[in-house]
Structure 1
Amino acid sequence: MTVLRTTPESEATGLTAKIYDDDVQSLGYVTTHTKTMAVNPEAYEAFEALLGTITADMDLRRYELVTLAAAAAIGSTHCRLAHGRKALKTIPEAELLLIARDFRNAGLPPAEVAMMEYAEKLSSNAAEMTKADGLRLREHGFSDKEIMDITLAAAARNYLSRSVLALGVELDRPPTLSSELQDALLASMETRRA
């Protein structure tokens, strides 16, 4: 549990109340990571604006695949579950189960595997990245803008995931996410830690 004192929903005002309401409108409840990040509501809003700019021209499927790969590399169960739920808007659950278990062997097109591997490496060992990593994406047909968007989406996930982990935020389990998909998303995290 986080060491920060978060604002209870009944006491939220101003920008914090707006941030909470956005969660209620989209999820039906306020997540623990939203409550924690809203301790500095201006920074949270700035992050959301940045993310909106990064993803404005990005395909939702691509964004969610990048996010899931980055979250796994970071060790963020919070983001794996949250984006597992969000990914269902564009990826059928049967396919998402395979991706969650092992994206390299889930029958994805080679370009999507390369993109996820790129996000994974950026999130686990960015100092070892070279020009070859970007060139590999280009070889799979990604434009310069798409490579930039993939990079920024993965880097943004690092910002939020690492903040949530550092602050010891309690894990939310999205109530609409099947237990099978939750298990697959979290089991892959356990495999990485082993």
Structure 2
Amino acid sequence: MILKTTPVPAAAGLTAEIYDDETASLGYVPTHTQAMAINPQAYLAFEAMLQAITASMDLRRYELVTLAAAQAIGSTHCRLAHGVKALKAFPEDQLAEIARDFRNAGLEPAEVAMMEYAQKMCRDAAGMTDADTLELRGHGFTDREIMDITLAAAARNYLSRTLLALAVDLDVPPSLSPELRDALLAPLAPSP
């Protein structure tokens, strides 16, 4: 990335607060956070938006949507970062299966449909129709849940595409096992 980020020791004000939160949560400040903290107000606004979206979503559902969206976009930054976060909702071996091919990873049919919806939205939002929403409704999702799934995938587009456009350096979270890292970086299994 050619934009200059604030080094961790030199951070002040909102940037220092953002860095401190990441250090407390992750043990380090990822490159994507350093990049987004160039505009700390926008970073905080994005975090507030995510909190509003996820307030009624469970962690499992949010991480599945996020992983599916990041994979569809081609965002290794978000796949790796959320691979770590998803370990709070999944055992590592199942998460590796989900990363390689979520359609054959022992997920509930509703979860697979939700992930397919997120991927389609990220690849071709203009091509989506009422049939896509009806598919989720057929799996028992409420209107609020469908909205939250859509917003979570859209939010991933915002962050992932920003990082990709700026060619932000990729860092691998130090707590990620080599097996899970490889699964998260594997190419997407083809759609049936």
In the alignment, which residue of structure 1 is the partner of 2:48?
49
TM-score, structure 2 as length reference = 0.97
Partners in 1 of 2:56 and 2:107 — Cα distance? 22
Deviation at 1:165, TM superposition (A): 0.5
Aligned runs of 1:137-156 on 2, under 5 Å? 137-156=136-155
**SS at 2:21's partner residue?**
helix
**SS at 2:187's partner residue?**
helix
Runs of 4+ aligned structure 1 residues displaced above 3 Å come to: none
Give identity over the alignment, percent. 72
**SS at 1:185's partner residue?**
helix
In the alignment, which residue of structure 2 is the partner of 1:102?
101
Paired residue type of 1:171: L
Aligned runs of 1:9-158 on 2, under 5 Å? 9-158=8-157
Partners in 1 of 2:27 and 2:106 — Cα distance? 33
Paired residue type of 1:48: E
Paired residue type of 1:53: A
Partners in 1 of 2:146 and 2:159 — Cα distance? 20
Deviation at 1:94, TM superposition (A): 1.1
**SS at 1:134's partner residue?**
helix
Paired residue type of 1:83: H
Paired residue type of 2:173: P
Deviation at 1:156, TM superposition (A): 0.2
Partners in 2 of 1:72 and 1:188 — Cα distance? 8
Alignment size in residue pairs? 190
Q: Provide Cα deviations, 1:102-155, integer angstroms capped at 9, x if missing partner.
A: 001112110000000000000111111001100100000000000000000000
Deviation at 1:187, TM superposition (A): 1.0
TM-score, structure 1 as length reference = 0.96
Deviation at 1:188, TM superposition (A): 2.5
Paired residue type of 2:81: A
Partners in 1 of 2:164 and 2:60 — Cα distance? 25
**SS at 1:188's partner residue?**
coil
Paired residue type of 1:30: V
Gaps of 5+ in 2: none
| Aligned-residue CA RMSD (Å) | 0.9
Paired residue type of 1:63: Y
Q: Provide Cα deviations, 1:30-83, integer angstroms capped at 9, x if missing partner.
A: 000000000000000000000010001101000000000000000000000000
Gaps of 5+ in 1: none
